[in-house]
Structure 1
Amino acid sequence: MLASRRALTLVGAVIALAMAGLPAQAADIPAPGEIVMSPNIAHVTNVPKPEALADINTDMAFQGDYAYVGNYYGFSIYDIRKPKRTSLVSSVVCPGGQMDVSVHGNLLFGSVDSSRSDDSCSSTGQSASIKESWEGVRIFDISDKANPRYIKSVETNCGSHTHTLVPDRRGRNVYIYVSSYSPNANFPDCQPPHDLISIIKVPLRDPAAASVISAPNLFPDGGFPGVPGQYPDGKSATTGCHDITAYPEKGIAAGACMGEGILMDIRDPERPRVTATVRDETNFAFWHSATFNNSGTKVVFTDELGGGSRATCNPEIGPTRGANAYYDIVRGQLVFKSYFKIARHQDATENCVAHNGSLIPVKGKDIMVQAWYQGGISVVDFTDSANPQEIAFFERGPDDTAPPLSGGFWSAYYYNGYIYGSDFNLGLDVLKINDPRTNRANGVRFDDLNAQTQESYRERGHHH
């Protein structure tokens, strides 16, 4: 999330001072930068963040032998043909947070949810109250990996915090579901109420003709009104969605929409329809992301308590807030089964909360790898959704290269035999899990991975 990056440094300093008088948590917190991991994980390599990208790394996408890593300052392309020798191919400087990325064919899409003076890569930040401001989605041609080319921008109301690709069945168009939230009465293009998503249609033969075709209202009743209160007790109202994960071949999507989780029917991608909704007024402060299991019968929702800039992995917050929640889909409705949160307590300077992850493709099992900011990377088996079990982990001690509460892994995804972690400040990490429970996944190969666009690995993957 981290919508208010500009305030982060100050907030971190204030919280660090406030917590300086508290007793230390667990004595086993690793030293700054020290790596600790379970015996079934190996650290393959780390590629430091490119000097050209001065801000933090964000989300990732994969295609063929390449990884694409977003950054508030642009994005980078890495050659992962030989994961142990992962190397930087190019970086594009094009500021505008968060620059969450996805790829389709020769196109890369990047989300911009910060108001810019114009849509160019030389734009500067300016208040969204200025009518001429721009935010939305940028489209790049990545056919030449060493020289990506910016070809089109599409402005969307309230910008694009995240986005989700939904290819049509004929392969002629790709739709982009644009998620944004927190409207502001002072911003001309982002008036409340903001209970909608923007849908961009990209004709693949002429991507420069991409445009917003509709903005369906997902919450005609206004959505969850929220629960007033300061951190950690307040609950977000629904004013848009934070993240949507689509499963196009099954015609479904799941939305994490601030105050609630939803299921959607997306068989007609131009007209998504909400079919179920669920709220958790006891534990969930901010519904952040969603992941289906492979059979499309479960959803893992995450609660980003504190917006990714708080230390929530401690006894005070406990095991059910800032956690994953597992839901079974039963007769079209979402049925709660359990929570999961990493058990390792983190330092008061370590931002730690449930964040982005993806499935490890083990047939017949539901296993997911996931980032927890400075809580590291965790692998969880949720085949029994009432009893999820962590089976592997990797983490570092506090990141002392940056201000407190502003480090760690943004996302962690499994792609073609390896786990890739995008670290705010420390770059791209490559891990290898060696465990009888996951090793069958080594034989599954994907052509690409956009974590918010799930594909079945029974049909897509094949054994070599």
Structure 2
Amino acid sequence: MILLSNPRTRRRRLGVVAAAGGLLAALLTAQPAVATPDPGDGPAQEQKVSESTRAEVREALADGEIPGQNEIVHSDNIEHVANIPKDVLPGTNSDLAFQGRYAFAGNYDGFRIFDIGNPRSPKTVAQVLCPGSQNDISVSGNLLFLSTDSSRSDSSCNSTTQPATEKSSWEGMKVFDISDKTNPKYVAAVETACGSHTHTLVPERRNVYVYVSSYSPNAAYPDCRPPHDGISVIKVPRYAPEKAAVVGFPVLFPGEGPDGGGNPGAPTNPGVSKTTGCHDITVLPGKDLAAGACMGDGILFSIADPEHPKVIDQVQDNVNFAFWHSATFNQKADKVIFTDELGGGSGATCNAEIGPNRGADGIYDIVGKGDKRKLVFRSYFKIPRHQANTENCVAHNGSLIPVRGRDLMVQAWYQGGVSVWDFTDSAHPKEIAYFDRGPLTTDTIRSAGSWSAYYYNGYIYSNEMARGFDVLKINDRRTDPARWVKLRELNVQTQPDYFD
């Protein structure tokens, strides 16, 4: 383990020459990984790279420009306190949720429950085999929710992959009873149009509303035909989850044409995804507000009536954003961070040729009041370390670190590792800490790295796609006050009011 006192001490410059060839051209036109149907439930296929790229990686390793294969490096204000490798679920690790002393970790083959009562020594409580990419996960009370975004033969946990062109194929939401954490019980399934790539909870006392994000319709798919210009809303009664059902499909992008009024993508906007649904939504229930990352668009909308969300503002960035992936509010709800998943999460986009403004975060201020609020762009943020061209790296899932008077965030960057950064000044964001590993492979691109990195009750938890569940502790005067904020439950896409 190497301790670095300055994030820029070991600046990673790899990729300047190699990316200038065919790899860069491919990335600039790459579309995100197809959501529906998924060809299977395993990780993305390995991508071959040129011999010149492999030679450059070997040279950079020898020169110390990048860490050695799987070598851990981090700033001196972060401590790596635990790693729990994969066990009986071999698939790709995905999102995380938290409740009390438990962490719930999604995996393309199911989910795993950890006891994190002692964060330095997490213990596995249960592992549930239930294949269905990408198994986006969240919890509320005694219920656990799991997204299925690959066409399955049926809704059971014993299903197999089946083409989306077959009417009998199933995709959607699964619901488990987790009142006994050692023995979760599958209690409900709800099919949704185009499946469920991600989902977001809007909890109430008696019901939980689930906003289901999905995309990529096709006229050949009986249950996923265009236009697909909105989200599915599921109502789940807490004490009768078996009655869960879709109660609406609000249109978020009304307009003329086969796909509504979202971004048309190419050829009008080359290199930008056509909007055919949303990828991810973050809600701030305490303020009746939501932000949607919807492929070619970012939106701000009201959820005062959770069954009938209403769009307040819609923005695009047709210069630097390829795929609007996720959103995070600051605590005051006067800023939103949107992420751009350039290359669909499987490309090497953290290099000099791609630059600091693509595959990055976009910071937007929210100005105005009520239904007249607008999203105003302020700046981009991207990790300052260049990665190898065999490392998939792009902005991905993160959460706030709750400190009064500051806007701090921890964020996953796939093989770019975990970054902690300050956007209090939305025009001048800066990184304050990081954790990273050297490349998983040095001769191909194989998907790995931190899928989600979230702050929960004093620690940072990261679900590493290939290398397991990581626990980090940050020791920094800027983040120290967050240790006093204790939550009973955290689904990052359902942001709490930390100080109310």
Query: Which TM-score tier does this pair reach, normalised by the shorter chain?
Result: over 0.9
User: Hey, what does 1:38 align to over in structure 2?
Assistant: 75
Does structure 1 retain, via aligned residues, the 8 Å contact 2:48–2:443? no
- Summarize the Cα distance change of 1:17–1:10 in structure 2 as closer, same or farther, 3 Å threshold: farther
Does structure 2 retain, via aligned residues, the 8 Å contact 1:235–1:284? yes
Paired residue secondary structure (2:120): helix
For 1:349, which of 374, 390, 394 is the aligned residue?
390
What is the CA deviation profile of residues 59-88 of structure 1, one whole-angstrom value per residue up to 9, with x for unaligned ones? 000000000000000000000001011111
Does structure 2 retain, via aligned residues, the 8 Å contact 1:12–1:309? no
**Cα distance in 1 between the residues matched to 2:158 and 2:466:** 23
Amino acid in structure 2 at the alignment position of 1:301? F
Does structure 1 retain, via aligned residues, the 8 Å contact 2:392–2:446? yes
The Cα shift of 1:400 comes to: 3.6
Q: Indicate yes or no: 2:228 matched with 1:194.
A: yes
For 2:431, which of 390, 403, 406 is the aligned residue?
390
Indicate the larger mover: 389-398 or 20-29.
Answer: 20-29
User: Hey, what does 1:462 align to over in structure 2?
Assistant: none
The Cα shift of 1:20 comes to: 3.5
Amino acid in structure 1 at the alignment position of 2:212? V
The Cα shift of 1:17 comes to: 5.7
User: Hey, what does 1:178 align to over in structure 2?
Assistant: 212
Amino acid in structure 1 at the alignment position of 2:126? S
**Cα distance in 1 between the residues matched to 2:177 and 2:247:** 22
What is the CA deviation profile of residues 191-248 of structure 1, one whole-angstrom value per residue up to 9, with x for unaligned ones? 0111010000011121110000000111012211013499xx6110110000000001
**Cα distance in 1 between the residues matched to 2:50 and 2:343:** 15
Aligned-pair identity in percent equals: 60
The Cα shift of 1:2 comes to: 4.3
Amino acid in structure 2 at the alignment position of 1:444? V
Paired residue secondary structure (2:445): coil
Runs of 4+ in structure 1 deviating by more than 2 angstroms, as ranges, are 1-27, 227-230, 400-405
**Cα distance in 2 between the residues matched to 1:15 and 1:228:** 28
User: Hey, what does 2:29 align to over in structure 1?
Assistant: none
For 1:82, which of 83, 94, 118 is the aligned residue?
118
Q: Indicate yes or no: 2:112 matched with 1:73.
A: no
Equivalent runs, 1:48-63 vs 2, <5 Å: 48-50=85-87, 52-63=88-99
User: Hey, what does 2:303 align to over in structure 1?
Assistant: 266
User: Hey, what does 2:276 align to over in structure 1?
Assistant: 239
Does structure 2 retain, via aligned residues, the 8 Å contact 1:356–1:410? yes
**Cα distance in 2 between the residues matched to 1:450 and 1:31:** 34
User: Hey, what does 2:483 align to over in structure 1?
Assistant: 442
Amino acid in structure 1 at the alignment position of 2:251? N
For 1:297, which of 314, 319, 334 is the aligned residue?
334
Amino acid in structure 2 at the alignment position of 1:204? R
**Cα distance in 1 between the residues matched to 2:441 and 2:46:** 13
For 1:225, which of 259, 264, 283 is the aligned residue?
264
Equivalent runs, 1:248-263 vs 2, <5 Å: 248-263=285-300
Does structure 2 retain, via aligned residues, the 8 Å contact 1:16–1:348? no
The Cα shift of 1:22 comes to: 5.7
**Cα distance in 2 between the residues matched to 1:97 and 1:436:** 39
- Summarize the Cα distance change of 1:370–1:10 in structure 2 as closer, same or farther, 3 Å threshold: closer
Number of residue pairs matched?
454
Equivalent runs, 1:101-250 vs 2, <5 Å: 101-168=137-204, 171-221=205-255, 222=260, 223-228=262-267, 234-250=271-287
For 2:449, which of 388, 403, 408 is the aligned residue?
408
- Summarize the Cα distance change of 1:135–1:401 in structure 2 as closer, same or farther, 3 Å threshold: farther
**Cα distance in 1 between the residues matched to 2:192 and 2:430:** 40
**Cα distance in 2 between the residues matched to 1:253 and 1:18:** 46
User: Hey, what does 2:23 align to over in structure 1?
Assistant: none
**Cα distance in 2 between the residues matched to 1:110 and 1:134:** 14
Alignment root-mean-square deviation, CA: 1.9
Amino acid in structure 2 at the alignment position of 1:367? L
The Cα shift of 1:364 comes to: 1.1
Q: Indicate yes or no: 2:133 matched with 1:97.
A: yes
What is the CA deviation profile of residues 308-361 of structure 1, one whole-angstrom value per residue up to 9, with x for unaligned ones? 000000001000000000000001000000000001110111000000000001
Paired residue secondary structure (2:392): coil
- Summarize the Cα distance change of 1:162–1:12 in structure 2 as closer, same or farther, 3 Å threshold: same
Paired residue secondary structure (1:186): coil
- Summarize the Cα distance change of 1:15–1:81 in structure 2 as closer, same or farther, 3 Å threshold: same
Does structure 2 retain, via aligned residues, the 8 Å contact 1:235–1:286? yes
**Cα distance in 1 between the residues matched to 2:44 and 2:311:** 39
Amino acid in structure 2 at the alignment position of 1:94? C
Does structure 2 retain, via aligned residues, the 8 Å contact 1:58–1:69? yes
Does structure 1 retain, via aligned residues, the 8 Å contact 2:44–2:346? no
The Cα shift of 1:401 comes to: 11
**Cα distance in 1 between the residues matched to 2:442 and 2:136:** 23
Paired residue secondary structure (1:307): helix
**Cα distance in 1 between the residues matched to 2:51 and 2:117:** 45
- Summarize the Cα distance change of 1:45–1:135 in structure 2 as closer, same or farther, 3 Å threshold: same
Does structure 2 retain, via aligned residues, the 8 Å contact 1:198–1:212? yes
The Cα shift of 1:186 comes to: 0.8
User: Hey, what does 2:6 align to over in structure 1?
Assistant: none
TM-score (norm 1): 0.94
The Cα shift of 1:295 comes to: 0.8
Does structure 1 retain, via aligned residues, the 8 Å contact 2:217–2:226? yes
**Cα distance in 2 between the residues matched to 1:440 and 1:143:** 32
- Summarize the Cα distance change of 1:321–1:441 in structure 2 as closer, same or farther, 3 Å threshold: same
Equivalent runs, 1:320-335 vs 2, <5 Å: 320-331=357-368, 332-335=373-376
**Cα distance in 2 between the residues matched to 1:330 and 1:250:** 15
